[in-house]
């Protein structure tokens, strides 16, 4: 009898694993995969000033090629539970849809991957057709992503294990199943531009130096010229200033400092360091030695990555098209994901459910989508090892 992705997902949804709590989700996966012959490791990672996070690694097989399914069982908070049509941790089915926090992001994707792998193993005597299959699951993706996937990857690498390819089951599709495969993500850089002037009375501007004039000039210079023109895989990088503040509540006071906060979503024309250098260069040119300024950048682990189209992306795309009838777009849009860590160990693509209700009240997934995704994953696994 085929494994049921709906039943597996329902069990996961009934685990209140609000980040970084494990909530029973990893324990359920451990029981399920151990029964199928997987070797399972539960690893807790910590760092001063952060929450301890429990992570999960399970593998069956010892040879190459090694295909891993990655994901996270932690979920965002539910918000007002009374506003939900069905309890957020109930796993209720209503009118062909499965409700629960994490149904889309991304317990549904994990449930489908587990079902597809169990079916593949059952069809081949309880072992992979050849090679190895693993699950790399974190409880830290919806939080600060410090004690989850990056440390779990380091631990696996320290054990001498290598991945050949990875499928991350994030909700990649935009409108309907099969419309999008994520082959990369833009990087993200947050920071402040700080201009220092001299405080004074507005009636005596000659005795002061208004930093507002300087910060306006620098913002204009930083935004007036594109950071790049984009390329075949990425749209142009984009800088957005999201606040400008002088901390001034008095109309007759020239402030001594002005701050502007910004975010840049950048493509692979830049690294974090080259992008910082470019901003410094452009600001210095605009300042002309007359404006005192500095950048303060927030620590970032959100670098850019792309998995170039090739045999692996083609394999995934063909499985999607055969199942859904749609030729998926290969996209690099959207925010960040744990794929930014995985890319340092092996090529990775993201393909999961439709992201319409992720993080929303009444998060839910059509039963038909769970079954379609399981079929897609099964085709990928069979052909990868076939």
What's the pLDDT tens digit per position in 138-175?
Answer: 999 998 889 999 999 999 999 999 999 999 999 999 99
User: Which pLDDT does position 174 carry in this prediction?
Assistant: 96
Question: 3-state class of 102 per DSSP?
Answer: coil
Q: Do 313 and 290 belong to one domain? A: no
Q: Tokens representing 331?
A: 């996209």
Catalytic residue from among 11, 22, 105, 141: 141
Question: 3-state class of 181 per DSSP?
Answer: strand
Q: Is 268 a catalytic residue?
A: no
Q: Do 281 and 215 belong to one domain? A: yes
Question: 3-state class of 314 per DSSP?
Answer: helix
Q: Do 56 and 138 belong to one domain? A: yes
In this structure, what CATH number is given to the domain that contains residue 325? 3.40.630.10
Q: Tokens representing 55?
A: 């992570």
pTM over 0.75: yes
Q: Do 166 and 198 belong to one domain? A: no
Question: Which residues, other chains included, contact 174 with Cβ-Cβ below 8 Å and sequence gap of 6+?
Answer: 180, 354, 355
Domain edge (last residue) among 265, 297, 329: 297
Q: Do 293 and 352 belong to one domain? A: no
User: Which pLDDT does position 206 carry in this prediction?
Assistant: 96
User: Which pLDDT does position 11 carry in this prediction?
Assistant: 98
Instruction: Please give the chain's pLDDT, 386 residues, in tens.
Output: 899 999 999 999 999 999 999 999 999 999 999 999 999 999 999 999 999 999 999 999 999 999 999 999 999 999 999 999 999 999 999 999 999 999 999 999 999 999 999 999 999 999 998 899 999 999 999 988 899 999 999 999 999 999 999 999 999 999 999 999 999 999 999 999 999 999 999 999 999 999 999 999 999 999 999 999 999 999 999 999 999 999 999 999 999 999 999 999 999 999 999 999 999 999 999 999 999 999 999 987 678 889 999 999 999 999 999 999 999 999 999 888 999 999 999 999 999 999 999 999 999 999 999 999 999 999 999 999 98
β-bridge pairing 253-254 and 200-201 = antiparallel
How many whole angstroms separate alpha carbon 215 and alpha carbon 298?
Answer: 19
Chain segment 284-301, per-residue pLDDT in tens:
999 999 999 999 999 876
How many whole angstroms separate alpha carbon 233 and alpha carbon 344?
Answer: 18
Domain edge (last residue) among 262, 297, 332: 297
Q: How many domains, the chain?
A: 2
Q: Do 137 and 42 belong to one domain? A: yes
Q: Do 202 and 175 belong to one domain? A: no
Chain segment 198-236, per-residue pLDDT in tens:
999 999 999 999 999 999 999 999 999 999 999 999 999
User: Which pLDDT does position 59 carry in this prediction?
Assistant: 98
How many whole angstroms separate alpha carbon 176 and alpha carbon 47?
Answer: 40
How is the chain split among helix, strand and coil, in percent rounded to 5?
Answer: 30, 25, 45
Domain edge (last residue) among 246, 275, 297: 297
Q: Do 55 and 114 belong to one domain? A: yes
Q: Is 141 a catalytic residue?
A: yes
User: Which pLDDT does position 288 carry in this prediction?
Assistant: 98
Beta strand segments in 272-354, E: 292-297, 305-306, 329-331, 348-350
Q: Do 350 and 220 belong to one domain? A: no
Q: Do 165 and 221 belong to one domain? A: no
Biggest alpha carbon distance in the chain?
86
Catalytic residue from among 11, 22, 54, 74: 74
How many whole angstroms separate alpha carbon 322 and alpha carbon 135?
Answer: 25
Q: Do 276 and 352 belong to one domain? A: no
Domain range enclosing 220: 188-297
Q: Do 32 and 165 belong to one domain? A: yes
β-bridge pairing 305-306 and 184-185 = antiparallel
């Amino acid at each position: 009898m085929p494994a049921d992705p709906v039943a597996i997902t329902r069990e996961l949804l009934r685990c209140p694993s609000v980040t970084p709590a494990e909530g029973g989700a990893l324990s359920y996966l451990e029981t399920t995969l151990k029964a199928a012959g997987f070797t399972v490791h539960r690893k807790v990672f910590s760092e001063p000033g952060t929450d301890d996070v429990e992570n999960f690694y399970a593998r069956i097989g010892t040879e190459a090629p090694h295909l891993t399914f990655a994901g996270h069982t932690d979920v965002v908070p539910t918000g007002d539970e009374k506003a939900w049509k069905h309890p957020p941790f109930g796993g209720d089915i209503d009118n062909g849809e499965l409700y629960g926090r994490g149904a889309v992001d991304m317990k549904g994707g994990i449930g489908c991957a587990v079902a597809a792998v169990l079916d593949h193993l059952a069809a081949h005597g309880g072992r992979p057709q050849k090679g190895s299959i693993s699950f790399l699951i974190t409880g830290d993706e919806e939080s600060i992503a410090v004690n989850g996937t990056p440390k779990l990857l380091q631990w696996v690498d320290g054990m001498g294990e290598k991945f050949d390819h990875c499928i991350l089951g994030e909700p990649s599709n935009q409108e309907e199943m099969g419309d999008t495969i994520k082959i990369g993500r833009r990087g993200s850089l947050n920071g402040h531009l700080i201009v220092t002037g001299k405080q004074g009375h507005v009636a005596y501007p000659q005795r002061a130096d208004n930093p507002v004039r300087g910060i306006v000039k620098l913002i204009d210079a930083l935004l007036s010229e594109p950071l790049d023109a984009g390329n075949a895989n990425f749209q142009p990088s984009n800088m957005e200033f999201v606040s400008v503040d002088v901390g001034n509540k008095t109309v007759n006071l020239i402030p001594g400092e002005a701050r502007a906060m910004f975010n840049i979503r950048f493509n692979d024309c830049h690294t974090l360091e080259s992008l910082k250098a470019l901003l410094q260069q452009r600001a210095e040119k605009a300042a002309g030695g007359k404006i005192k300024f500095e950048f303060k950048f927030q620590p970032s682990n959100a670098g850019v990555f792309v998995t170039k189209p090739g045999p692996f992306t083609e394999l995934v795309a063909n499985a999607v098209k055969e199942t859904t009838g749609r030729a998926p777009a290969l996209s690099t849009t959207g925010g960040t994901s744990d794929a930014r860590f995985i890319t340092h160990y092996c090529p990775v693509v993201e393909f999961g459910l439709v992201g319409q209700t992720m993080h929303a009240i009444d998060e839910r997934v059509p039963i038909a989508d769970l079954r379609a995704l399981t079929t897609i994953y099964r085709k990928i696994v069979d052909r990868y090892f076939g």
